[in-house]
Structure 1
Amino acid sequence: MSVLRWVTRFLDCTLVEDVVLGAVTCPSGELVLMDGGYLGLWSGNRSPDDTRQPDGIAAVDFEVVGRDAVAAAESFDRQSGQTLYDIPQDKVPQFTACFDGHCRERGLEAALRPFGRQVSHRDRVRRAVAAGDPDFLISGVPVVPVGNVPSTRPLPVTAARGQWGWRQIRIGLGDQAAAESRQLGSIGVDYARFVFADADSLADWVHDDPIDGLADVVFWGKDEAAIAEEFGASRTGTPGDDHYGWLNLPVGQASERALALNERRNAEPRRMFAFDVRPHSHHWKVMTDVRAAEHEAATITIAGADIMMALTSVGDGFFPVHLDLDASGVPTAVRITIEKDS
């Protein structure tokens, strides 16, 4: 976040309580809330066994079964509910021995039953919603699913200001006032951004691959002007993200530029700068719009659903999610807490 944008937000925080970030749509009725930077892990309807990269870690998913399955899963307390995802294959003997020992010590009749193949991420959403689990993991990253979301109309997304950034982000589900609140899980964020997305639409998400065969290369830092002169680069003029670099390069040419920048950074005399290769993927497109947006949030339409990416405003962390219910028990809003009230 630029200094000017931060100062403006700080000065305005007492003047404007709620800011409209946009709206999302959820045709499937099941909404996914997670770190948008991790969408490259999303397997859609495929098993992670089929989407794992060559250097990825083979893993196994388990279900807790037996007479005391619920008590065993709750007391073991490794993941929510009775499913345990993404246990590294080389850790399985140690993990199952630990679970068996846990059950013996407590006199619980339960066991870990492996799935034949890892459960797809779309099915993890379905299973969590059906079981009422507050969250589930994808490679250790907490993801919060919300079921029974209105599927035929846009869901407004607003943010309330806090002292240092957003105090909370709210996704409206209904018009009635909240009568009670239920805590769900927490979104784990390492890339300083949230994504709010329809569970079905994410099957078509393209995170890293260039859809049009093109990519941008940008660089910045203490010695950016000197490097720009050496490489004949100019400012890109991108709103909210005006670095030195080159736009709309064929992927091969972008890779060559990145390699040359890396070699120059390590050569003598040393230069202090960072660079980024940004393939024209869905992630690149929406993040370009996010950086240009006044409130650092933007939407992109994927498979008929409007997906929102929004910066957290405070960087990384774990962000609790609550579901507000009206007097009849109907969901009226999803709230993500950013900054706790003092």
Structure 2
Amino acid sequence: MVRASTAASPFDGVPTIAVLEIDLGLPWAGTAADEPIILGDLPVDRCDMVLGDAPALDSWTGDGHPSTDGLADVAYWGGYAEAAHLQFGGELILRHRSQVRGWLDLPLDAARKLGDALNNWEGDEQGWGFIIAVDEHTDFHRFNRASWTDPLRVGAIEVAGYPVLGINWASGDHSMRHRGERPFGQVYPATLQPGLTGQTTTHWMIPPYVPGHDGAK
């Protein structure tokens, strides 16, 4: 079981993860005084975060890996999206509080051909005003897709027979609050401690944001 407590982002007011607790399914074997055991520390990673058992993480497929099921998603957006929709079609897809046009679960060859057609669209005089993405079905993309409609940007998928949870940090909040990550000391301690039922729990807390204290942990 994974639990999250939230706090409002100091930048846009939406809920953001402030505390993560992960039940490990093991009895507490720490000190008699129940003092937390420090495991290390973690940053809020701009490349997102994955929580799962070791066999799943060993099997994880990320960006650049070939599609694991022979399928891909195609999306496009930007100032000329409506003109492209008249030419190519595509359904509205909600992704993290914004909408794009596109197609889900296309055979890989068809997705690549459609992506090429969009890139070579003769009516494309807009340059960077029209953006196209062909996302092959890797575990990374499947997790991202599972998080598209979640208010905390988290998504659960199965990898190698194990459940895996991904956290997709808001880019704006990350760049303002957590910029610099480990090289600049922006890390937060992860501990083992007893849970509510006496089981061992991993605990990770992001302290409240204090304006003007950019280097504070």
Deviation by residue 1:150-178 (Cα, 9 ceiling, x = unmatched): xxxxx323132144352523123479897
1:218 positional shift: 0.5
Find the partner of 2:19 among 160, 163, 169.
169
How many residue pairs get matched? 183
2:4 aligns with: 158
Distance (Å, rounded) in 2 between the aligned partners of 1:268 and 1:275:
12
Q: Which has the higher strand share?
A: 2
Specify the SS of the correspondent of 1:243.
Answer: strand
Structure 2 gaps, min length 5: 212-217
| CA apart distance, 1:187 | 3.0
CA distance in 2, matches of 1:234, 1:242: 12
Tell me by how many angstroms 1:270 deviates: 2.6
| Counterpart residue number, 1:310 | 167
Letter in 2 for 1:189: D
Distance in 2 of aligned mates of 1:200 and 1:194: 16
Q: Does 1:323 align with 2:179?
A: no
In the alignment, which residue of structure 2 is the partner of 1:337?
A: 206
The structure showing larger relative contact order (alpha-carbon pairs under 8 Å, at least 6 residues apart) is: 2
Instruction: Say which SS state the counterpart of residue 120 (structure 2) adopts.
Output: helix
The structure where helix makes up a greater share of residues is 1
CA distance in structure 2 between the aligned counterparts of 1:312 and 1:212, rounded to whole angstroms: 26
- Residue type at the aligned position of 1:303: A
User: Which residue in the other structure is 2:214 paired with?
Assistant: none
Normalising by structure 1, what TM-score? 0.45
Matched residue SS, 2:125: coil
Structure 1 residue 257 displacement after superposition:
1.9
Structure 1: stretches of 5+ with no match in the other structure: 1-154
**How far does residue 325 in structure 1 lie from its aligned partner after superposition?**
4.8
SS in 1 for 2:115: helix
Deviations 1:119-158 (A, max 9, x none): xxxxxxxxxxxxxxxxxxxxxxxxxxxxxxxxxxxx3231
Map 1:68-87; keep pairs closer than 5 Å.
Answer: none
Return the match for 1:189 from 41, 45, 53: 45
Amino acid corresponding to residue 157 of structure 1 in structure 2: R
Matches within 5 A, 1:271-286: 272-286=129-143
Hey, what's the Cα distance between the residues in 1 that align with 2:160 and 2:106?
Answer: 27
CA distance, structure 2, for counterparts of residue 200 and residue 237 of structure 1: 32
How far is the alpha carbon of 1:338 from its aligned partner?
6.8
Matches of 1:163 and 1:238, distance apart in 2: 21
Distance 1:325 1:202 in 2: 20
CA distance in 2 between counterparts of 1:312 and 1:335 reads 15
CA contact (8 A) 2:72 2:134 kept: yes
1:269 & 1:301 partners in 2: Cα distance?
Answer: 42
Query: Compared with structure 1, are the counterparts of its residues 244 and 326 closer, same or farther at alpha carbon in structure 2 (3 Å cutoff)?
Result: closer
Taking structure 2 as the reference length, the TM-score comes to: 0.67
In the other structure, the counterpart of 1:259 is: 116
Matched ranges for 1:40-51 at <5 A:
none
Greater Cα radius of gyration, structure 1 or 2 = 1
Could you tell me whether the CA contact under 8 Å between 1:233 and 1:246 is conserved in 2? no
